[in-house]
Chains A and B, each alone.
Chain A
Amino acid sequence: MDTREAKVQLPAYLIGDLSPKEAAMLEGHLDVNPEAREAKEQLSRQLLPVMNLPAPDVGEAALARLFMEARRELAKPERQPDFSWRENARFFMRVAAVLVATAVLGVVVAGVIPSGSNVVGSLVTVGNDVRVVRQNELVETPQGVPMTLELKAAGARIDLDGSSALVVRGRGHESSIEIMRGRVIVGASSHNVHITCGEAEVVVLPRSVAAIDFDAPFERIRGKGAVIELQRQTIAHVARVSERLFGGRIDTAGLPAEVANRRVSIYGNGLRREEFMAAFKSAAERHGVVFTADSRDFALTYNQGTAGSSIDESESILKVASLQGTVEFIGEKKTELSDRSNSVVVFANGTLTKSSDAEGAARAQRMVVWAGRSDMPHFKLSETVSNYIAMGQGGGRVITVATALPVGTVLSHDSIRYGGTLVRVGEPVKLSLPGANGGRLMGVMSSGIEVSADDPAGTRYFVPISNSQSR
């Protein structure tokens, strides 16, 4: 085989069209021919995007229309099966049994629950699965897996980012949801949507869209070193978790209670002991807590002089932004919010700061609410929020890259540990981005990071965290 023959066979080889014998022959040739090997690598680069085209899913609305149409079609009289007399008798007996059972059940149920079904009737799409959500059912998304809910009767659409949770409370036109944690976009088309987040209440008026980031205490750990989500947990609690997961003993006795109760967040998956401990160490250090290791024992000591001043000590933080239309805060006057998305309101521990205040406006300008999915066909969002959303400093569109951060990356609330290096928000990060080999870390969320690329335009990218379970 020569170089020309090898090059001719390469496309077929890369898409798996060569027989095992032919493939082995070509591989043997590639081992000894650097020119052919280079051609193979070049062709792989070109074929990579062809083989990795996105595989979108059919829209929920289309699916719902199809099922409705199918029901209509199957209900047509000419489609009824041609029963024999025996089958006819059996059929009528079954119908009678069902009618009796329904009547009995109706009497029982009427006395127990209020009128109306408890089925909210919202279709939820998770990957290839479509199901119905019931009233008061907790809907949770795992890390890195977004979900869409459609409350049909209320004309509302809800996009949940990964690591988020909510409960659907209302039914029919009176839709109401309680956000337990995470990042959620709520769009109302024909009716108000009432939202409760901790102590706060928000109403999204018709033809309006709100983005909400509710950073509340939460813990999920799936197996040793697997998915770890420790959100706004106390230093003392994280120390206990690290003992349980990774062994060793962590002495928190020397910490003042006030310091031990300060909160940190750590997210990651496939983490090794060293990665988790390093993330905990740097998270604790920001609170002036020094972490020392001695064999398998660790100690935490407090040094007031090094305590960070910019750390928010609230148990939970709620950020609400209106992407379109009007969002009303209960007990407050209506806030008209422009599609520039610069009107961000912040609730921290029940204290409301509004963008109309000078301080609130300044904070809003610095703040990234979150980055997540917002491909909502019902709403025509402005360019600034048309794809992935990031608001605050600079604003603008954020492009999401198709590949996730590798397994073993650790995200804390203002830093990431990536490839053995700790990078804080605002610092340069080395990362393979389209058109650039790195950029500046702009924000960290439980679902991924936002990076401003080292290109002349400073393009913003959102890089999700991997949801894969193995290294």
Chain B
Amino acid sequence: MSESALAEHKHDAPAKPAKPKKGSREELETLDDYDLVKRFTKGTVDAFEVLVLRHKRQVYNFIYKMVGKPEPADDLFQETFLRVLKNAHTYRPRAKFTTWTLQIARNVTLDYFKRENLRQHVSLDATVPGDDKPLRNLVPGNEPPSQDVLLSKELLEEVQSAIKRLPLHQQEALVLRVNEELPYAEISEIVGSPEGTVKYWVHEAVAALTRYLAKRGLT
């Protein structure tokens, strides 16, 4: 093979993907959570941003489903990640970063409820104004349940407010299990209660909600 053909042959070989520059956004995005924590504790603000963007959906959803409104949820989200930032030196990788952050989010949310004196648990089995409005108007009548069932915004709001009326421990267990689909071991770590207890809370919450939805005519 001539030299030029060899050069051409070399040129045809698949090019190795260029390694992202150290400290660049691309490089940071390849790092695991613990490495990102180490980076931002050394002052790399981009590492913190990458970490927030990576986990914002899960953390925000937990907070939002606990408080039910976007305004306090935005503030509590911000407070959660600022606590993450300030306490990052205490984080050890024996716990998943999301577990640790959700623990912080939970504490921030509980502080908010305490501060605002907001939690007034109303049993789902009690009659409250508006309970006489049947939910069946918000869902398809005799259609069998299928992927095509359209869920109205109103129905979802009703369900959201029903969830808010559950006892707090049931509410957080339900959100983490049913909406965030976390394993019981992780939920147990976040809420600081044994797995069996958490499972019981989830089943109690599901039973209370389905009782309530049946009573409101969603059968």
Contact = CB atoms under 8 A, between A and B. Distances in A.
A46 B135 CA distance: 11
A343 to B, nearest CB: 28
Given A15-B178, A80-B43, A56 B70 contact: yes
A66 B52 contact: yes
Interface in A358-407: 377, 387, 399-403, 406
B179 to A, nearest CB: 6
B177 to A, nearest CB: 7
Contact of B153 (A15, A42, A50, A402): A402
Contacts, number: 173
A125 to B, nearest CB: 10
A11 B151 contact: no
Contacts of A56: 60-61, 64, 70
Given A66-B52, A80-B43, A48 B145 contact: yes
A66 to B, nearest CB: 5
B95 interface: no
B77 A62 contact: yes
A79 B77 CA distance: 23
B143 interface: yes
A101 interface: no
Contacts of A75: 43
A264 B164 CA distance: 49
A266 B202 CA distance: 47
Interface stretch (B2-10, B123-131, B206-214): B206-214
B140 A66 contact: no
B213 A46 contact: yes
Interface string B45-86: 100110011001100110011000010011101100110011
A53 interface: yes
Contacts of A305: none
A387 B86 CA distance: 38
Contacts of A71: 45
Contact of B178 (A44, A45, A50, A73): A50
Contacts of B40: 74
A432 B148 contact: yes
Contacts of B1: none
Interface stretch (B11-19, B96-104, B107-115, B154-162): B154-162
A66 B77 contact: yes
Given A55-B57, A58-B77, A67-B49, A432 B43 contact: no
Given A11-B206, A43-B210, A401 B148 contact: no
Contacts of B139: 45, 49, 434-435
A311 interface: no
Interface in A8-40: 11-12, 15, 17
Interface in B157-191: 158-160, 163, 174, 177-179
Nearest to B64: A56
Contacts of B81: 66, 70
A46 B152 contact: no
B78 A62 contact: yes
A15 B49 contact: no
Given A47-B206, A399-B154, A400-B153, A130 B75 contact: no
A5 interface: no
B163 A50 contact: yes
Given A53-B159, A80-B43, A402 B151 contact: yes
Contacts of A200: none
* Main secondary structure on A side of the interface with B: mixed
A51 B206 CA distance: 11
B200 to A, nearest CB: 11
A435 B74 contact: no
Contacts of B74: 58-59, 61-62
Given A44-B145, A66-B81, A399 B153 contact: yes
Chain A, interface size: which category?
A: 35 or more
Nearest to A388: B153
B140 A433 contact: yes
Contacts of B206: 11, 15, 47, 50
Contacts of A46: 209-210, 213-214, 218-219
Contacts of B202: 15, 17
Contacts of A117: none
Contact of B159 (A49, A406, A455): A49
Contact of B207 (A11, A54, A66): A11
B150 interface: yes
Nearest to A54: B156
Contacts of A79: 43
A45 B199 CA distance: 22
A387 B137 CA distance: 20
Interface string B129-149: 000000011111101110111
A399 B81 CA distance: 34
Contacts of B144: 41
A463 interface: yes
Contacts of A421: none
B42 interface: yes
B209 to A, nearest CB: 6
A100 interface: no
A59 B70 CA distance: 8
Nearest to B77: A58
A436 B81 CA distance: 44
Given A17-B199, A70-B82, A399-B152, A57 B214 contact: no
B131 to A, nearest CB: 16
B203 interface: yes
Contacts of B78: 62, 65-66, 69
Contacts of B218: 45-46, 49
8 contacts: A45-B149, A46-B219, A59-B70, A69-B78, A401-B152, A402-B151, A402-B156, A432-B143
Given A11-B203, A41-B144, A70-B49, 20 more contacts: A17-B199, A43-B210, A45-B139, A47-B206, A49-B159, A51-B178, A53-B65, A55-B179, A58-B60, A58-B77, A63-B52, A73-B82, A74-B40, A74-B45, A128-B56, A432-B149, A434-B137, A434-B154, A435-B137, A455-B137
Q: What 5 pairs between A and B have smallest CB-CB spacing?
A: A434-B152, A62-B74, A401-B150, A435-B137, A58-B60
